């Protein structure tokens, strides 16, 4: 068989192979609840299962809907975790309560965080295959391998999916740190991927609006070390518990200056215990002391590591700032270092805490008055350009970020030489089809935001939350009507009851008007339909009441129809 015949045979064979599809159930147009899908034929692979923190009252967070995964249960081959941050692992207990996952693949620290999370939720422990940058997964349709990227937590991996239709790479969360405090990024491996050919690149857009190269974690550690070396009183370092590298460097600095460490915050305590267990943080038992024993030490012998960077009402730092903390009372000799950034939406809470701290006379250090005490775990435009030039993709898909971030990242990709028509900014649920080296837009799969709290692994859809908000703002109305389903007639006229929306004593005429409108519309429904259904009756009631109230008051209360079947 000559080369031309071989090529023709390959073309015929590849057309028989089902296309590869890539899409997101969460993580597009938002920062959080990351969940990406790569599938081909009878194989569906999930990448990450995260949570997004919600502004709604009484809601713990937002997770992706698993409706599509439940429908495709038999095709799921595994869940691959890029790293152990909450926006990538936070919904795993919820996922496992809905879907059976044959196998989970994760790095060491992510695996231990997942096991801890499952235990807290009383979800059965899952077997997790520990992966690293040398791991390879081979299946009928895919060869999957991994590469190290720099981030603010150890064991963060980009992933490459190779199929006969093309190669798809996702960067995970990344920055480029050339003097890292952890493992070095696999620059050579990324370059080799680029030389071998990358069909489609999915890339982290979080910090796309920053034109600067991110600061090295080693520089942050050096700056904080300088502060501690000149400080006589207590040091209170506030950072994200999930920033394991930062926490590890803070512990090293505390030990260097022979200070005892006090840990405030449940999540901080947990991450330190897990990191010690797997030997990512090394320290003797006597280095950490209980908060209740602080009085046994001089102020210059203490180094406090705390959560509370975002001004959370129940956080340790917030309680310190307003005098509610039972174990510590601040004074003008204390130095507080904010080794963190402000998350958009939290400015008001943070400012309140900062103002209270200033009133107490503490010395406050943050990235504004002392640049370099915090560094983002996400690369800016220059690092995104470097990733694009290493991997050299033919098609580009901006993920992990709000729309403004995706747009900026896409412009960077175009500036790097990718054709505009080969870039994609799409919503959650929109599929990309990878077929014979080409990537095109395809149809949609169902997606939704699911709101969860501490008591419910299944959660509530966005419609339920909308209804809750509507009830709290506009109230609830019930309409009770009695029917005889055998004779198909109304025997008890509609009766309205209002909860928090219409004063029934002062609006008797309006209420009577609504009841009469409902009755008239039901009479028309009965007269015009051969088949009367309970759902039909309820829909007539809802629409009639909503229209009357909106016309009069421009509000939209929740309307609950109560249909009594009275077959006397």
Report how far residue 33's alpha carbon sits from residue 16's, in angstroms, rounded to the nearest whole number.
Answer: 35
The pLDDT of residue 6 = 47
The CA distance from 105 to 132, in Å, is: 10
Helix axes of 381-391 and 187-196: crossing angle, nearest 10 degrees: 50
- Looking at the chain, the whole-number percentage of residues with pLDDT higher than 70 is 91
CA atoms of 155 and 3, how far apart (whole Å): 44
pLDDT at residue 201 is higher than 90: yes
Give 366's contacts (C-beta < 8 A, 6+ positions apart).
337, 338, 373, 374
pLDDT at residue 363 greater than cutoff 80: yes
What are the φ/ψ torsions at residue 6 (nearest 5 degrees)? Answer: -60, -45
Residue 338, pLDDT > 60, answer yes
Q: Share the mean pLDDT of the chain.
A: 87
Q: Is domain 18-212+377-461 annotated with CATH 2.60.40.10? A: no
Q: CATH 3.10.20.580 occupies which residues in the chain?
A: 475-565
pLDDT of residue 356: 84
- Characterize 361-388 residue by residue with b for buried, 16 or more Cβ atoms within 10 angstroms of its Cβ, and e for exposed: ebebbbbeebeebbbbbbbbbebbebbb
Question: Within the chain, what is the greatest distance between any pair of CA atoms?
Answer: 92
Q: What is the DSSP string of 367-419?
A: TTTSTTS---SS--HHHHHHHHHHH-EEEEEEESB-HHHHHHHHHHHHHTT--
- In this predicted structure, what is the pLDDT of residue 526? 87
Q: How far apart are the first and last CA of the chain?
A: 85
Distance CA 533, CA 499 (A): 27
Question: 457 pLDDT exceeds 80?
Answer: no
pLDDT number for residue 454 = 56
β-strand pairing of 43-47 with 260-264: unpaired
Asked whether the predicted pLDDT for residue 348 surpasses 80, the reply is no
| Residue 10: per-residue pLDDT | 45
What kind of fold does domain 475-565 have according to CATH?
Ubiquitin-like (UB roll) (3.10.20)
0.75 surpassed by pTM: yes
Q: How confident is the model at residue 57 (pLDDT cuts 50, 70, 90)?
A: very low
pLDDT of residue 169: 98
Which residue has tokens 């569906």? 44
Tell me the C-alpha to C-alpha distance, in Å, between residue 104 and each of 46, 107, 122.
9, 10, 18
Q: Side by side, which strands form the sheet with 157-163?
A: 136-138, 143-148, 157-163, 166-170, 198-204, 393-399, 423-424
Per-residue confidence (pLDDT) for residue 400, from 0 to 100: 94
pLDDT range class, residue 14, cuts 50, 70, 90: low
Domain ranges in the chain with CATH number 3.40.50.10710 = 217-365
Residues carrying CATH 3.60.15.10, the chain: 18-212+377-461
Does the pLDDT at position 540 exceed 60? yes
Angle at 161 between CA 157 and CA 167, to 5 degrees: 120
Band of residue 474 on the pLDDT scale cut at 50, 70, 90: low
As given in the structure block, the two tokens for residue 317 are 């730092």
Residue bearing the bigger pLDDT, 6 or 392: 392
Task: Tell whether the model's pLDDT for residue 175 goes beyond 90.
Answer: yes
Task: Read off the pLDDT of each residue in 388-402 and give the average, rounded to a whole number.
Answer: 96
pLDDT at 309: 79
- Please report, rounded to a whole number, the percentage of residues in the chain having pLDDT higher than 90: 53
Mean pLDDT across 366-377: 86
Using CA atoms, how far apart are residues 371 and 374, in angstroms rounded to an integer?
A: 8
The DSSP bridge pattern shows strands 104-106 and 456-461 to be: unpaired
564, β-bridge pairs: 482
- Say which residue, 251 or 2, is predicted with more confidence: 251
- Number of helical H runs and strand E runs in the chain: 16, 26
pLDDT at residue 426 in the model? 93
DSSP 3-state of 308: coil
Question: Per residue in 293-334, pLDDT tens?
Answer: 888 999 999 999 998 877 777 778 888 888 888 888 888 998
pLDDT of 469 strictly over 70? no
Mean pLDDT for 128-135 is 97
Name 247's bridge partners.
none
Q: Are 400 and 173 in contact (CB under 8 A)?
A: yes
Q: Is the pLDDT of residue 442 over 90?
A: yes
- Tell me which of 4 and 508 has the higher pLDDT: 508
> What 3-state class would DSSP assign to 289?
coil
pLDDT tens readout for residues 223-257? 999 999 999 999 999 988 888 999 999 999 999 99
The closest alpha carbon to 450, from 122, 35, 173, belongs to: 35
Lowest average pLDDT, out of 92-101, 193-202, 290-299, 454-463, goes to: 454-463
Q: Which residue in 396, 49, 21, 421 sits closest to 202, CA to CA?
A: 396
Q: Does residue 531 register a pLDDT over 90?
A: no
DSSP 126: -
Distance, in Å, from the CA atom of 517 to the CA atom of 530, rounded to the nearest integer, reads 22
Of 4 and 104, which is predicted with more confidence? 104
CATH architecture of residue range(s) 217-365: 3-Layer(aba) Sandwich (3.40)
| Mean pLDDT across 529-558 | 82
* Lookup: tokens for 131: 């992966």
Of residues 179 and 529, which shows the higher confidence score? 179
């Amino acid at each position: 068989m000559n080369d031309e015949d071989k090529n023709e045979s390959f073309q015929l064979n590849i057309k028989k192979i089902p296309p590869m599809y890539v899409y997101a159930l969460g993580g597009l147009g938002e920062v959080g609840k990351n969940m990406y899908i790569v599938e081909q034929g009878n194989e569906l692979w999930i990448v990450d299962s995260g949570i997004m923190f919600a502004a709604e009252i009484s809601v713990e967070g937002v997770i992706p809907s698993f409706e599509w995964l439940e429908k495709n249960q038999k095709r799921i081959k595994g869940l691959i975790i890029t790293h152990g941050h909450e926006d990538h692992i936070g919904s795993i207990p919820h996922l496992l309560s809905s879907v059976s996952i044959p196998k989970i693949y994760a790095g060491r620290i992510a695996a231990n965080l997942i096991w801890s999370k499952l235990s807290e939720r009383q979800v059965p422990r899952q077997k997790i295959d520990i992966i690293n940058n040398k791991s390879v997964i081979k299946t009928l349709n895919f060869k999957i391998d991994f590469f190290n990227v720099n981030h603010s937590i150890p064991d963060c991996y980009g992933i490459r999916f190779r199929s006969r239709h093309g190669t798809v790479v996702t960067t995970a969360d990344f920055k480029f740190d050339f003097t890292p405090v952890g493992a070095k990024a696999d620059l050579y491996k990324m370059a080799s991927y680029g030389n071998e050919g990358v069909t489609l690149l999915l890339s982290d857009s979080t910090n796309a609006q920053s034109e600067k190269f991110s600061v090295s974690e080693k520089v942050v550690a050096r700056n904080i070390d300088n502060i501690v070396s000149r400080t006589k009183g207590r040091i209170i370092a506030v950072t994200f518990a999930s920033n394991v590298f930062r926490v590890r460097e803070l512990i090293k600095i505390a030990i260097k200056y022979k200070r005892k460490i006090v840990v405030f915050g449940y999540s901080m305590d947990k991450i330190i215990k897990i990191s010690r267990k797997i030997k990512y943080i090394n320290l003797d038992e006597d280095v950490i002391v209980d908060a209740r024993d602080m009085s046994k030490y001089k102020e210059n012998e203490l180094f406090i590591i705390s959560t509370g960077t975002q001004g959370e009402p129940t956080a340790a730092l917030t309680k310190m700032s307003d005098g509610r903390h039972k174990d510590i009372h601040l004074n003008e000799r204390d130095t507080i270092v904010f080794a963190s950034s402000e998350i958009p939406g939290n400015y008001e809470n943070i400012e309140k805490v900062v103002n209270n701290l200033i009133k107490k006379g503490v010395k406050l250090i943050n990235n504004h008055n002392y640049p370099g005490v915090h560094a983002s775990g996400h690369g800016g435009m220059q690092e995104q350009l470097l990733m694009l030039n290493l991997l050299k993709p033919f098609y580009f898909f901006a993920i992990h970020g709000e729309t403004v971030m995706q747009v900026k990242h896409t412009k960077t990709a175009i500036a790097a030489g990718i054709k505009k028509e080969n870039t994609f900014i799409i919503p959650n649920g929109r599929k990309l089809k990878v077929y014979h080296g080409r990537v095109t837009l395809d149809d949609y799969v169902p997606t939704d935001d699911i709101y969860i709290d501490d008591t419910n692994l299944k959660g509530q859809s966005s419609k339920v939350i909308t209804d809750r908000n509507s009830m709290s703002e506009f109230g609830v109305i019930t309409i009770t009507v009695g029917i005889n389903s055998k004779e198909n007639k109304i025997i008890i006229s509609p009766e309205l009851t209002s909860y928090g929306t219409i004063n029934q004593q002062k609006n008797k005429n309006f209420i009577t008007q609504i009841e009469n409108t409902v009755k008239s519309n039901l009479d028309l429904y009965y007269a015009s339909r051969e088949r009367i259904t309970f759902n039909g009756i309820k829909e007539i009631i809802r629409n009639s009441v909503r229209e009357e109230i909106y016309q009069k008051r421009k509000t939209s209360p929740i309307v609950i129809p109560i249909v009594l079947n009275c077959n006397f």
